[in-house]
Structure 1
Amino acid sequence: MTNTDALKPYRIDVPQADLDDLRDRLHRTRWSDDLPGTGWERGVPVAYLKELATYWADTFDWPAQEALINRYPQYTTVIDGQNVHFLHARSTRADATPLLLIHGWPGSVVEFLDLIEPLTAPEPDQPAFHLVIPSVPGFGFSGPITEPGWTDTRTAAALAALMARLGYDRYGVHGGDIGAFIGPAIGRANPGHVIGVHANALVTFPTGDPADMAALTEAEQLRLKAMKNFQDDMSAYMQLQGTRPQTLAHALTDSPAGQLAWIVEKFKEWTDASKELPEDAVDRDRMLANISIYWFTDTARSVANSYYERFHDASMWAPKPPATVPTGVAVFATGDFAIRRFAEQAHNITHWSEFYRGGHFPALEAPDLLTGDIRAFFTTLTS
C-alpha cells in the first residue's frame, strides 16, 4: 500500500529572478576563442556556443518547458536522508506494469517525456505501464546530495525503496548511461521484486578470452574499436568528474556558458553520428530544457561527485556472480559499445536488439525505437 504520508506533491516553479540571473550571466560571458583551422575535435567551437547561448538567453522559453513537465504528477520524498523527486504517470489500464525509468548523465526527467503517453496510454493490443521517473538522487529536482557515500549501490537501494513506498511489489526497470549501472544493481539486489531490467548504453568489458575475441562479428569489432577511441579521446569529462569534482564544480556553478559547453559537447559526440549538430539529433528546446535543469537546481557539484563515488567504490568493480533477473539490451547506432557475449558474463540476457539509427539518448533521439523495444522486452516476461 502506498505510504502517501511520506510523499509531498511537487510542481516546478523556477523564480523569475533565476531566469533573469541566467540571462544576465549569459550576456556577460567572457568568451574564449578558437585556434585557426580547428573544429569540434578540440571541444565546442566558440561560434556555435555563442549562438546557442544567445538563443538560450533571448529566445528559449523555459516556462513552456516547465509546463510540459508539470503536466504530469510529481512528488518528493526523503529516502535514506536524501530528497528524491519523481514523476508518477499512471496508466488507466488495470493490467499495466509498474516501470521505473532511470536517466543518466547529462540527462534528467526531461529525457523521458516523449515516452510517457505511448507507454501509459498505448493501443489496446500493446502493453501498458505505470511510470515512475525519478531525478536520480543528487541530480535535478532531487537537489544536491548532502553527504558523501552516494554510490550506485546506495542509489539503487533508494530507488528500490521508492518503488516499495509507492506500493509496487513487482516492477520493471529501464536505465541508460549511469541508469544502466543503477538499473541492473536494483535487479541484482531485489530479484524477488524486479521482473526484468532493460538497458541502453550498457557498458560491457572484454572477457580476455582469445576465443571470445576471435568470434567477434565485424559490427562488434567496430564497437570495440569505438570504445577504445572513447577511452583514449573522449573520456576527459569522466576522469575530471571522477577525480576532482569539486574543482570542476566551481566553474560550472558560476558560469552557465561553461555548463552549456560541458553538456552540449556530449550531445554532439554521443548523438547519431549521421547528424551534423546536436540539435539535428535532439530538439534544441528539449536539449536546453535539460541543461537548464542542471543550472537552476545548482547540482553541478553533486552530479560530478557521483562520478567520484563510482570511481572510488571498490565493491562496484569487484567480481560478482551473474545476475538472475531477465535483462534486455538495446544497442543504438552511435556511442553504444555493448557486446552480447561480454554482457552475458554479468547479466541474464534474454532480449537483445541492435538499431541503425539513434545514439546515446534514444528517449530523445529515437523514442519510437526505445518505446518499441521496452514493449517487446516486457511482453516476454510474466509478473
Structure 2
Amino acid sequence: MATTQQDIIPFTVPSLTEDQKTILQDRLSNSTYPNELESNVGWDYGAPTWAVKSMAETWQHGYDFEVARQEINQWKHYHTKIDDLNIHFIHEPSTRPDAIPILLCHGWPSTFYEFHKVINSLRDGVNGNQAFHVVVPSLPGFGFSDAPKATGYGVEKMSSMMNALMVKLGYTKYVWHGGDWGAIIGKYTAAHHSKNCRAFHTCLPFVLPPVPTPRNLLFHPLNVIKFFSSLLLGFDTMYGKGKTVLNWATFANAELYYGCGYRAIQGTRPYTLAHSLSDSPLGMMAWMLEKYHEWTYHEDEKKAESVSLPPTISADEFLTQVTLYWMTNSMSSSIRIYYECLHHHEMIKVVIPRVNVPTAISNFAHDVAKLPKEWLETATNLVHYKEHATGGHFPGLEVDTLLVDDIQQFGKKLRQLKKKTSKL
C-alpha cells in the first residue's frame, strides 16, 4: 500500500466559473464559420462545418459539465510537487490484497478523463479478476497539472516525473499502461526506469523492426528473414493484410500520410497555432473533433462520413474532454510536447531500446499505427498479445471492457511470473 506524504494535497475538480460560462456562451453564440466548397467532400479537408456546428450547439445548449464533474469527483484527486510543478493525479487504491500498482497515462488530445470507464473496474478487479491500485495523472501542461515554464519538458523529462510520482506514492514497483503520448513516454519509462516500472502495457507500440543485430540473429533469425522479405514482397504479403500500419510516423510526411499535418504544426510552430486554439473554443473543439472522428473505429466507413463520433463515444464524453482543456487553458501547453520531442530527437531514444520488462500489447482495429507481432516479439519481452476487431485510438472510451480485460489478463500473467521469478 502507498505511503502518505505531507505535500500530497487533496483536490476537487472545480465547476466552471460564472465568467467562464459567460465567455463560453458568448464565443459559441458569435462564432464565424469558414467558407467551404459547395460539393460534399466529407472529412477529407478536415472537420466540416456541419459537424463542428452541431457539436457547438450541443456544447452550448445540451451539455452540462456539472454532470461530468460529479462523476469525476467520485475519485480521490490530488496535487503534489514534482520538479517544482504541481502535478494532478487520481489515486484509487484497491482493497484487494493482491492488487498491483498501475499508472494509466493519457496522450493528446486527451486527458485523465479518457480512463473514466476503467478506473473502478481495474481498482475492484471486476468479474473476480486481477485488481490494481490505480493512479491516473495529468501530464505536465495538461488539464489540472501545472504548465512547464521552461523548455525541455519532453518525453524524457515527463517520464522521469511520472516515475517520481509513483515512487513518491510508495509504488516502487508498478505497471505502466498508455496510448498515444502515454505509449511513447511509457516505452521510454519501461526501458530507462525498469527498476521501478516493472511491466508495460500499451496499444500503440514504438519499436524497431527485426534488423540483423547479433541478438536478433541469435534469438529471432526467422523474424529477421521475414522482415527483409517484406521489404521486397510488401508488408501485407508477409504479415497479413492490415497487420502493418505505419502511417509514416514522422512529423511531416504529408505525401505519404495526410493525417500528419497537425504533428508538423505542433512540432514546429506551436505558439502560432496556440493563439487560435486558446482564444476560440470553437476552433479548439474543431481541432480535437477531427481526431476523435479520424482515429476511432467506425463499423461502417461509408456511414462514418456523415457522423461526428462513433457510437462508442458520446457527445458528452467528447465535450468533457474539450471542456477540461478549455477551462484550464491547457491546449497551448499540451501541444508543446511535440516541439520538445521533435527538437530534442527524442523518438530515437524511444524507438531504439529493447524493452526487457514483461510487455503486453493490445492491438485495436483502428489505432493510428499497428505493428506485426514478429516485430514486437523481437523488440520486447512480449508475454501477452491480443488483436481486436474493434476499437481505435481511445480504447478506454471506445471499448473499455476489452481494455480492462486485456490489462487484467496481463496482470494475471505477471502474478504467475512473480511466483516463478520473485522479480515483480
Superposition TM-score, scaled by structure 2 size:
0.85
Map of 1:8 onto structure 2: 9
Hey, what's the Cα distance between the residues in 2 that align with 1:81 and 1:272?
Answer: 39
Map of 1:214 onto structure 2: 229
Q: How does 1:154-165 map to 2 (within 5 A)?
A: 154-165=157-168
Give 1:204 deviation, angstroms: 4.3
Give 1:273 deviation, angstroms: 3.0
Q: CA RMSD in A?
A: 2.0
**Range with greater deviation from structure 2 (361-370 or 298-307):** 298-307
Question: Cα deviation per residue 1:203-228 (whole Å; 9 max; x = unaligned)?
Answer: 34545767315355556552435625
Hey, what's the Cα distance between the residues in 2 that align with 1:220 and 1:164?
Answer: 42
Give 1:321 deviation, angstroms: 4.0
Identity between Structure 1 and Structure 2 (%): 34
Map of 1:362 onto structure 2: 395
**Range with greater deviation from structure 2 (166-175 or 269-278):** 269-278
Hey, what's the Cα distance between the residues in 1 that align with 2:7 and 2:30?
Answer: 43
Give 1:143 deviation, angstroms: 3.3
Q: 1:101 to 1:123 in 2, by over 3 A?
A: closer
* 1:67 counterpart = 2:99: no
* C-alpha contact (below 8 Å) 1:196/1:326 kept by paired residues: yes
The equivalent position to 1:41 in structure 2, one of 33, 39, 44, is: 44
Hey, what's the Cα distance between the residues in 2 that align with 1:77 and 1:22?
Answer: 30
Find the structure with the greater CA-based Rg: 2
The equivalent position to 2:348 in structure 1, one of 317, 323, 329, is: 317
Amino acid at match of 2:189: I
Hey, what's the Cα distance between the residues in 2 that align with 1:44 and 1:4?
Answer: 46
Map of 2:89 onto structure 1: 86
The equivalent position to 2:380 in structure 1, one of 328, 334, 347, is: 347
Question: Cα deviation per residue 1:229-273 (whole Å; 9 max; x = unaligned)?
Answer: 985210001111011100110110000110011000001100003
Map of 1:248 onto structure 2: 273
Q: 1:188 to 1:205 in 2, by over 3 A?
A: closer
Hey, what's the Cα distance between the residues in 1 that align with 2:339 and 2:373?
Answer: 28
Map of 1:31 onto structure 2: 33
Q: How does 1:98-137 map to 2 (within 5 A)?
A: 98-123=101-126, 125-137=128-140
Give 1:378 deviation, angstroms: 1.6
Q: How does 1:176-215 map to 2 (within 5 A)?
A: 176-204=179-207, 206=209, 211-214=226-229
Secondary structure of 2:406's partner?
A: helix
* C-alpha contact (below 8 Å) 2:236/2:244 kept by paired residues: no
* C-alpha contact (below 8 Å) 1:103/1:111 kept by paired residues: yes
* C-alpha contact (below 8 Å) 2:177/2:186 kept by paired residues: yes
* C-alpha contact (below 8 Å) 1:200/1:329 kept by paired residues: yes
* 1:55 counterpart = 2:55: no
Give 1:112 deviation, angstroms: 0.4
Give 1:15 deviation, angstroms: 1.5
Q: 1:329 to 1:241 in 2, by over 3 A?
A: same
Q: 1:322 to 1:66 in 2, by over 3 A?
A: same
Q: How does 1:226-241 map to 2 (within 5 A)?
A: 227-228=247-248, 232-241=257-266
Give 1:70 deviation, angstroms: 0.7
Amino acid at match of 2:61: D
**Range with greater deviation from structure 2 (300-309 or 278-287):** 278-287
Give 1:20 deviation, angstroms: 2.1
Structure 1 regions of 5+ residues with no counterpart?
A: none
Q: 1:273 to 1:210 in 2, by over 3 A?
A: farther
* 1:96 counterpart = 2:133: no
* 1:296 counterpart = 2:327: yes
Hey, what's the Cα distance between the residues in 2 that align with 1:95 and 1:322?
Answer: 29
* C-alpha contact (below 8 Å) 1:201/1:337 kept by paired residues: yes
* 1:259 counterpart = 2:284: yes
**Range with greater deviation from structure 2 (9-18 or 238-247):** 9-18
Give 1:299 deviation, angstroms: 1.1
Hey, what's the Cα distance between the residues in 2 that align with 1:123 and 1:237?
Answer: 38
Give 1:192 deviation, angstroms: 2.2
Amino acid at match of 2:397: L
Map of 1:306 onto structure 2: 337
Structure 2 regions of 5+ residues with no counterpart?
A: 212-223, 419-423
Secondary structure of 2:356's partner?
A: coil
Q: For this pair of structures, how many residues does the alignment match? A: 383
Hey, what's the Cα distance between the residues in 2 that align with 1:212 and 1:220?
Answer: 13
* C-alpha contact (below 8 Å) 1:18/1:296 kept by paired residues: yes
Secondary structure of 2:335's partner?
A: helix
Superposition TM-score, scaled by structure 1 size:
0.94
Secondary structure of 1:22's partner?
A: helix
Q: 1:20 to 1:338 in 2, by over 3 A?
A: farther
Hey, what's the Cα distance between the residues in 2 that align with 1:220 and 1:152?
Answer: 32
